[in-house]
Amino acid sequence: MKYSRILLKLSGEALMGKKGYGIDSKRINDYALEIKNLHKNNIQIAIVIGGGNIFRGVSGSSEGVDRVQADYMGMLATIINGLALQSALENIDVPTRLQTAINIEAIAEPYIKRRAVRHLEKNRVVIFSAGTGNPFFTTDSAAVLRAIEINADVILKGTRVDGIYTEDPELNDKAIKLDSLSFEDALRLNLKIMDTTAFTLSKENNLPIIVFDMNIKDNLKKVVQGKKIGTKVFL
């Protein structure tokens, strides 16, 4: 395996599957199997999930909800998704820990870096929820921050497309797929893979990002093996 400790970033929308809202049980169980397949190879796995399948802070604030309140609502949505993924993983005998950036002790541990690293060393999958715990920061930024804190080798962003394109391939079938690009190019071309804060953090800490299609069987394992899947963003 090329990477021994990864941070997997999943969007909340990815959990919807073919549904228009909420969590598709088949999709989340498929993801759990992909993660288990990697876990069996003693890869240390941390995960950050968005909450857009339930509530998005930005869209909520545009509809009249105070932005800070809307962002906290979005954080709670990520905790719901984290609980769902934790349950799916533990149902197939993958040991997990759910940590949150806001205290909610009845259902999850508070985020503590040293504890998270220790869980990884004991081969437990660690799910980070509630973003950074602060409004105005996306779960992309949270994913990069946590990856840096736990010294992950790479950020793997699982999406429903097979990499980064010059334009949205779902809107323009003439969009060109990019096999790799630099952080500078990603920012210059204004490619909406992650927000600017996340990209800047990754660049400053020389932390590569690989964007790939999570919905293709064994893609996650192939990426970790170093096979040319998706698009790699690096210095």
User: Could you tell me the CATH number of the domain that includes residue 100?
Assistant: 3.40.1160.10
Whole-angstrom Cα distance, residue 165 to residue 92? 35
pLDDT of residue 173: 85
Q: Looking at residues 61-76, what average pLDDT do you find?
A: 88
Q: In which residue are the tokens 């950074």 written?
A: 132
pLDDT in tens, 121-165: 999 999 999 999 999 999 999 999 999 999 999 999 999 889 999
CA 13 to chain centroid = 11
What domain range includes position 207? Answer: 5-234
How far is the C-alpha of 60 from the C-alpha of 62, rounded, in Å? 5
Provide mean pLDDT across the span 9-29: 92
Give the CA angle between residues 119, 74, 206 to the nearest 5°. Answer: 55
Number of domains in the chain: 1
CA 41 – CA 63 distance, rounded (Å): 46
Residue position matching structure tokens 């990603």: 186
